[in-house]
Amino acid sequence: MNAPVVPPSHVFHRSSRATPPRAVRGEGAYIFDAAGKRYLDGSGGAAVSCLGHSDQTVIQAIKDQLDQLPFAHSGFFSSDPAERLADRLVAHAPEGIDRVYLVSGGSEAVEAALKMARQYFVEIGEPLRTRFIARRQSYHGNTLGALAAGGNAWRKAKFAPLLIETNHISPCYAYRGQMEGESLEAYGLRVADELEAELNRVGPETVIAFVAEPVVGATLGAVPAVPGYFKRIREICDRYGILLILDEVMCGMGRTGTLFACEQDGIAPDIVTIAKGLGAGYQPIGAALCSGRIHAAFAEGSGFFQHGHTYNAHPTAAAAADAVLTRLTDDGLTARAAEMGETLDAALRAAFGQHPHIGDIRGRGMFRGLEIVADRASKTPFDPAEGKAARVKAAAFEAGLICYPMGGTIDGKQGDHVLLAPPFILSEDQIGELVDKLSQAFAAVL
């Protein structure tokens, strides 16, 4: 196939050195570029496209809303789609969650969560709480607050002087953290207890909240916490009176086989953020959901959350998300993510379980990660300078597979990894195609 002639571009792409192919059409789990090449979307972009690229129910809901009312500013109006979406999200949310703050994406959702948590303490007369505790090897978004919460040194380095104070503890990452002879439960409690130690070190009365992803996505590659970890985290937050913010921007909305990932950890947060799968790529939308207790502090205090963006609670985005939610719940696609996730996991283990450079295969539902290592026995990562993850991405793309790799750059404490987050509509044949293409990419690079 001849490469298409690439016209000059005025779009500021993420990398100024490369111009990506132009995506022109979507069909089910595939994206087609301008040259007619077909790509299987093995990562839903970045864990976004949970319904694939041509879901007619969602497309129709958007068209209907555009005919009715494309937009009304939330400073003047509420709207039927926003009200309906909030009601339905709360009905499906973890215990105690009662209010939904609708924004346009993941970073905005995290930013809203951080400010909501801070203002909550101002409202209840504890204004000396000024810092967050989060985890290393985490990502919570690229706006300044969310970037500060994240624990990826490379992403933060250029902006370090601009970031609010956040302290970081270890992630729950059993593949590398569990010690010889230590049970998974004991490991989970040991790393959860780092939160208590950090609270005591910095002074618990200065801390607003602990922020964590139930299943770590971009930075570690679909790493769930071990059983008992989040229960202990919840206990510690309650004991010291700090809030628990769970970031489910990537792992929420059915991705792990339950609508909210934390359902599987048996806990409820004070605030939970969602995005990506909420709009499934059909519209940009995110949300910070909070407990009734937090909302009551605003209602009984200053009466409003001192925050907001022009596109808060955008009616068309809300209508799209409401239709997505119907697909995920009433139409059974979250249950399908759980079921097909097992098929995907089995296929990955059959293909790569003995691969000399795949150290770990992990994840939940349609959220799976493979950690790439130079040596399986010692778990030694490749030298980041070899750029294995980026090369796997390129080779997979060449073979017609979109996957989401990340370099192992954090102080040699993790290998490169590949993250898979395909649409929940994937067929068994397409799982086979995904694994075949990934094998081709590994064969070319590892």
Closest contact distance (angstroms) between CB of 296 and ligand PMP is: 27
Check the CA dihedral 27-31-37-38 and report its sign. negative
Joined tokens for residue 16: 């100024």
Does 137 interact with ligand PMP (rule: CB under 6 A)? Answer: no
DSSP string, 113-151: HHHHHHHHHHHTT-TT--EEEEESS----SSHHHHHHS-
User: Which one, of 400, 409, 386, lies nearest residue 439 by Cα?
Assistant: 400
Binding ligand PMP by CB under 6 A: which of 134, 209, 218, 226?
218
Sequence-distant (6+) residues with CB within 8 A of 370 are: 221, 348, 352, 358, 360, 361, 417, 418, 420
| Candidate ranges 8-16, 95-103, 223-231, 242-250; the one touching ligand PMP (CB under 6 A) | 242-250
CB-based burial of residue 361 (10 Å sphere; 0-12 exposed, 13-18 middle, 19+ buried)? buried
Does 111 interact with ligand PMP (rule: CB under 6 A)? Answer: no
Does 107 interact with ligand PMP (rule: CB under 6 A)? Answer: yes
Closest contact distance (angstroms) between CB of 244 and ligand PMP is: 15
Does 363 interact with ligand PMP (rule: CB under 6 A)? Answer: no
Binding ligand PMP by CB under 6 A: which of 41, 55, 194, 213?
213
Does 360 interact with ligand PMP (rule: CB under 6 A)? Answer: no
Site residues (CB under 6 A) for ligand PMP, limited to 42-71: 46
| Candidate ranges 33-41, 129-137, 211-219, 305-313; the one touching ligand PMP (CB under 6 A) | 211-219
Helix (H) or strand (E) holding 112: helix 106-123
Does 110 interact with ligand PMP (rule: CB under 6 A)? Answer: yes
Q: Cβ(437)–Cβ(422) under 8 Å?
A: no
User: Which one, of 22, 81, 34, 25, lies nearest residue 54 by Cα?
Assistant: 25
| Candidate ranges 212-220, 254-262, 363-371, 383-391; the one touching ligand PMP (CB under 6 A) | 212-220
Closest contact distance (angstroms) between CB of 6 and ligand PMP is: 26
N-terminal to C-terminal alpha carbon distance within the chain: 26
Closest contact distance (angstroms) between CB of 47 and ligand PMP is: 7
What CA–CA distances, in Å, run from 333 to 51, 149, 347, 432? Answer: 8, 32, 20, 20
Size of the site for ligand PMP (CB under 6 A): 15
DSSP, collapsed to helix, strand or coil, labels residue 434 as helix
Contact flags string 271-310 toward ligand PMP, x per CB under 6 A = ----x-----------------------------------
| Candidate ranges 5-13, 199-207, 213-221, 289-297; the one touching ligand PMP (CB under 6 A) | 213-221
Compute the distance between CA of residue 352 and CA of residue 363 in angstroms, rounded to an integer. 15
Does 262 interact with ligand PMP (rule: CB under 6 A)? Answer: no
Binding ligand PMP by CB under 6 A: which of 55, 247, 265, 371?
247
Query: Which residues contact ligand PMP by CB under 6 A?
Result: 46, 105-107, 110, 139-141, 213, 217-218, 247, 249-250, 275
